């Protein structure tokens, strides 16, 4: 039996221990591409409308945050795209934008050390809905051979890897509405420990279809403000009545800092902290005292090796639900003490809705751009603040402020909690 000597095993990448963001891409209810959606975030633009992707009449909730004017043919061969679920369209588009934005050259050596970690909270609900109709019609032989591959959540990572010949670590996170943030955090750790030089990381979701809307209506977690869609998502407001479902994707290109500097990359920010925890409480309701959220933020701060008073801005999970919003505010106060009243704590879900498994990625990108441009994006529709009045939720209008450290919270069904900390890049 032959054996391979240790000396013949190819060496892995040399890790600097620091991870930076060098490329970004997004498909959102406020538009496709950072140059389109980011100015709308700063301006407080509302992306919530009456549902148009399906007939909303049979449903108790008839409003959503849909991606407008998305041309899948700009990103994929149309024949291939017809077989795929919409969440895959979004993932491919966002990853392609991130690669293009980074200016990175995909050499043969780099492809071996370049990974993909794009998650989805639900995966291919649209493909599932279309194919299960054949079962109800007694025609199981009509089920597509692409049904299973394009339904499963890991196929976002798989397709992006295949299209770009990226051979490094490749897997998928599924942690409900924490998915996108978990994906970025895990990719950060993969690069930090030297298992990859670069990773495309983020989340993608496309739940606005009959089974998705029916399922969330049955959960009674969504808004019923059907006559005023533009006012439906109102985190921290006294009159909130549930979240607005959204769709979209964001992907960040994370890269070993030394590698990025050596190639002269544009660096958006540095990822420095990643905390995650469990409420261990209820399948859909968060712990009322914010036990898990407090733990995830404290873990992120500890791993970032910074004190709480360094944080300038928190992009809150802030879904506009009666229970979730006050819980998060209490957790912020638990972690930051008096500094909580000097922070900006806003929820951009007031504009782009709750994009489920993509939320943590879209909102991490918003944090990075907020730092770059020294601006805290607003919480729109905040007319009667119910939470502690001393907390600055950046009501309705963006506020200019120098931001050096930002924190993003993402929480999910099942009691998942994720906190990410990013800072301005420096030597």
Question: CA 359 to CA 412: how far, in whole Å?
Answer: 10
- Token pair 């950072």: residue: 34
Contact between residue 334 and residue 290 where contact means Cβ atoms under 8 Å apart: yes
Q: Are 214 and 53 in contact (CB under 8 A)?
A: no
List, in sequence order, every residue forming a beta bridge with 275; answer none if it has no partner. 419
Q: Which residues of 137-167 are buried (b: 16+ CB within 10 A; e: fewer)?
A: eeeeeeeeebbebbbbbbbbbbbbbebbebe
- In angstroms, rounded to a whole number, what is the distance separating the alpha carbons of residues 408 and 368? 10
Determine the Cα–Cα distance for residues 223 and 241; give it in Å rounded to an integer: 5
Question: Which entry of 89, 287, 352, 354 is annotated as an active-site residue?
Answer: 354
DSSP string, 51-86: --SS--TTSS--EEBPPPS--GGGTS-HHHHHHS-H
Alpha-carbon distances of 70 from 80, 94, 97, 151, 245, rounded to whole Å: 16, 12, 14, 21, 18
DSSP letter, residue 14: P
Residue 261's SS3 state is helix
Distance separating the N- and C-terminal Cα atoms of the chain: 51
Sign of the CA dihedral with 192 first, then 196, 198, and 199 last? negative
Query: Active-site residue 354, yes or no?
Result: yes
**Is 177 an active-site residue?**
yes
Burial class (CB in 10 A: 0-12, 13-18, 19+), 95: buried
Contacts of 3 (CB under 8 A, 6+ apart): none
The H or E element spanning position 210 is: helix 210-219
DSSP assignment of 240-255: --SBPBB-EEEEEEEE
What stretch of H or E contains 35? Answer: helix 34-43
DSSP string, 340-358: GGTSEEE-THHHH-B-GGG
Q: Which one from 89, 259, 287, 317 is the annotated catalytic residue?
A: 317
Q: Which residues lie closer than 8 Å to 310 by C-beta, 6 or more apart?
A: 404, 405
How far apart are the C-alpha atoms of 228 and 62, rounded to whole Å?
10
Active site residues per annotation: 177, 317, 354
């Amino acid at each position: 039996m032959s054996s391979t000597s240790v000396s013949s095993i190819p060496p892995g990448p040399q890790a600097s221990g620091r991870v930076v963001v060098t490329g970004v891409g997004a498909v959102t209810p406020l538009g496709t591409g950072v140059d389109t959606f980011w100015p709308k975030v700063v301006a407080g633009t509302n992306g919530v409308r009456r549902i148009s992707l399906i007939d909303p009449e049979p449903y108790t909730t008839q409003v959503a945050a849909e991606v407008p004017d998305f041309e899948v043919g700009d990103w994929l061969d149309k024949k291939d795209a017809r077989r795929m679920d919409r969440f895959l369209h979004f993932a491919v588009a966002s990853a392609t934008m991130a690669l293009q934005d980074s200016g990175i050259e995909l050499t043969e050596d780099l492809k071996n050390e370049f990974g993909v970690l794009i998650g989805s909270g639900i995966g291919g609900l649209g493909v599932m809905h279309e194919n299960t109709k054949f079962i109800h019609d007694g025609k199981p032989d009509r089920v597509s051979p692409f049904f299973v591959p394009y339904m499963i959540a890991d196929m976002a990572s798989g397709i992006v890897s295949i299209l770009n010949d990226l051979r490094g670590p490749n897997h998928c996170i599924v942690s409900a509405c924490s998915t996108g943030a978990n994906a970025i955090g895990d990719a950060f750790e993969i690069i930090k420990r030297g298992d990859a030089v670069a990773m495309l990381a983020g989340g993608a979701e496309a739940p606005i279809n009959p089974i998705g809307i029916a399922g969330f209506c049955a959960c009674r977690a969504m808004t019923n403000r059907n006559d005023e869609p533009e006012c439906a998502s109102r985190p921290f407001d006294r009159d909130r009545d549930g979240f607005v479902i959204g769709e979209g994707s964001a992907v960040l290109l994370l890269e070993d800092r030394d590698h990025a500097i050596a190639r002269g990359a544009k660096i958006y920010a540095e990822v420095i902290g990643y905390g995650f925890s469990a409420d261990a409480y209820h399948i859909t309701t968060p712990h009322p005292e914010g036990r898990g959220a407090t733990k995830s933020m404290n873990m992120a701060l500890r791993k970032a090796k910074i004190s709480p008073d360094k944080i300038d801005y928190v992009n809150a999970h802030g879904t506009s639900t009666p229970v979730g919003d006050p819980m998060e505010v209490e957790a912020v106060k638990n972690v930051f003490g008096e500094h909580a009243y000097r922070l900006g704590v806003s929820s951009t879900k007031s504009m782009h809705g709750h994009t489920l498994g993509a939320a943590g990625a879209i909102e991490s990108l918003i944090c990075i751009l907020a730092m770059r441009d020294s601006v805290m994006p607003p919480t729109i529709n905040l007319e009667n603040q119910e939470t502690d009045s001393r907390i600055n939720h950046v009501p309705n209008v963006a506020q200019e402020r120098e931001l050096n450290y930002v924190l993003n919270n993402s929480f999910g069904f099942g009691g998942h909690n994720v906190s990410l900390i990013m800072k301005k890049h420096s030597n």
